[in-house]
Amino acid sequence: MTLIRRHKIAAIPADGIGPEVIDAGLEVLQALSARASDIAFDVTAFDWGTDYYKRHGEMMPKDGLHQLKPFDAIFFGAVGAPDVPDQITLWGLRLAICQGFDQYANVRPTRILPGISSPLRGQEPGDLDWVIVRENSEGEYAGQGGRTHRGMPEEVATEVAIFTRVGITRIIRYAFRVAQSRPRKLLTVVTKSNAQKHGMVLWDEIAAEVAQEFPNVTWDKMLVDAMTARMTLQPESLDTIVATNLHADILSDLAAALAGSLGVAPTANIDPERRFPSMFEPIHGSAFDIAGKGIANPVATFLTACQMLDHLGEGDAAARLMKAVEEVCAAGVMTPDVGGTATTREVTDAVIGAIRGSNL
């Protein structure tokens, strides 16, 4: 008798193109489980997001985290809508989950996929193959600060970045582990410690301390401004990158653009200690301008599903999905954002077809 490994997935499609790409992602997961009969996904969908907010005055119920806690992973679409302030939608759902579940490692792999062209001159698949590890629990997104004298000429606002020894140490250690698991064993630690002389200098010091634990990883330091130039001019010199919440936010958009499109960029919000479910989402956001048109690029969500499968211990299924996506991209079945003419449906069907036919 085959033992079936069942994974409980909470799907939160939320806003804009979120439902379109999550539907596509769920179909692909079902195709993987049909292909390998020992994997099953029990999916529960949650209708939280901006529509829910308009009906209930909150982005998710008060016990939302409690409802999510028993799941093995969260498969998340996108939040944000043109008619509700971003800080409500974001802090009410996505950041509430990331922070409530202490998903302190945000992992953003970036590669040039076959068939997709990079704006970088002469770059081919393989020349750009990075993993950006973003600190996801503190730093510039700590939510500390305030405003006084509202509306007065002397109005002030503070936005305080928080850097703790615990927070820095755990993310840098995680990044060293990621670097160690990759063939090149190469880590670049990004800060702005020339100008910001407290928190960023602490990053540098802790990086040097943690590096002692990883003698087989080669590491270097970059200032974030110089890093943008290095990513553009010497992409092949980089492999794993770790940076603060805001710096890595900015660098990951640059990375996605250099790899061809935000439409193919995945991300994982990981609790490395596995106390809570981790959350997997495409980076692109809700993209209301194309919502409902059937042309959203599902590739970022498929690659996000690969990260989820890896996290769930389903490395073979992750590899099978990755290979299917690569085949479909190489065959030119792509949505308009990456220069193709295919719809979300067509790309999804092609990937499902490739999974069925795969001999992996």
Q: Which residues contact 234 (CB under 8 A, 6 or more apart)?
A: none
Give the residue numbers marked as catalytic.
141, 192, 225, 249, 253
Are 326 and 112 a contacting pair, CB within 8 Å?
no
Between 23 and 281, name the residue whose CB sits nearer to Mg ion: 281
| Position 249 contacts Mg ion (CB under 5 A) | yes
Q: Which positions from 76 through 135 interact with Mg ion, judged by CB under 5 A?
A: none
The entry of ligand IPM, Mg ion, none that residue 328 binds, CB within 5 to 8 Å by partner kind? none
- Any contact of residue 283 with ligand IPM (CB under 6 A)? yes
Task: Determine, following the binding rule CB under 6 A, whether residue 250 of this chain makes contact with ligand IPM.
Answer: no
257 in contact with ligand IPM (CB under 6 A) = no
Question: According to the binding rule CB under 6 A, does residue 90 interact with ligand IPM?
Answer: yes
Identity of the residue, 258 or 283, whose beta carbon is nearer to ligand IPM in the bound complex: 283
CA angle, 203 as apex, 157 and 143 as ends, to 5°?
30
Minimum distance from residue 249 beta carbon to Mg ion (Å) = 4
- Which residues in 309-329 are b (16+ Cβ under 10 Å) and which e? bbbbebeebbebbbbbbbbbb
Q: How far apart are CA 233 and CA 99, in angstroms?
A: 35
Positive or negative, the CA dihedral 340, 346, 351, 356 is negative
Helices (H) and strands (E) in the chain, counts: 12, 12
Does the protein bind ligand IPM through residue 322 (CB under 6 A)? no
Of these partners, ligand IPM, Mg ion, none, which one is at the site of residue 193 (CB under 5 to 8 Å by kind)?
Answer: none
Q: Which residue has the tokens 């503070």?
A: 158
Q: Interface with ligand IPM includes 327 (CB under 6 A)? A: no
Residue (99 or 348) nearer to ligand IPM, CB: 99
For position 105 contacting ligand IPM by CB under 6 A, the verdict is no
Give the nearest distance from C-beta 315 to ligand IPM in angstroms. 25
> Rounded to whole angstroms, how far apart are CA atoms 201 and 257?
29
The C-alpha angle with vertex 190 and arms to 142 and 166, in degrees rounded to 5, equals 45
249 makes contact with ligand IPM (CB under 6 A): yes
Length of the chain: 360
Q: Does 97 sit near ligand IPM (CB under 6 A)?
A: no
Binding site for Mg ion (CB under 5 A): 249
For ligand IPM, the binding residues (CB under 6 A) are 90, 249, 252, 283, 285
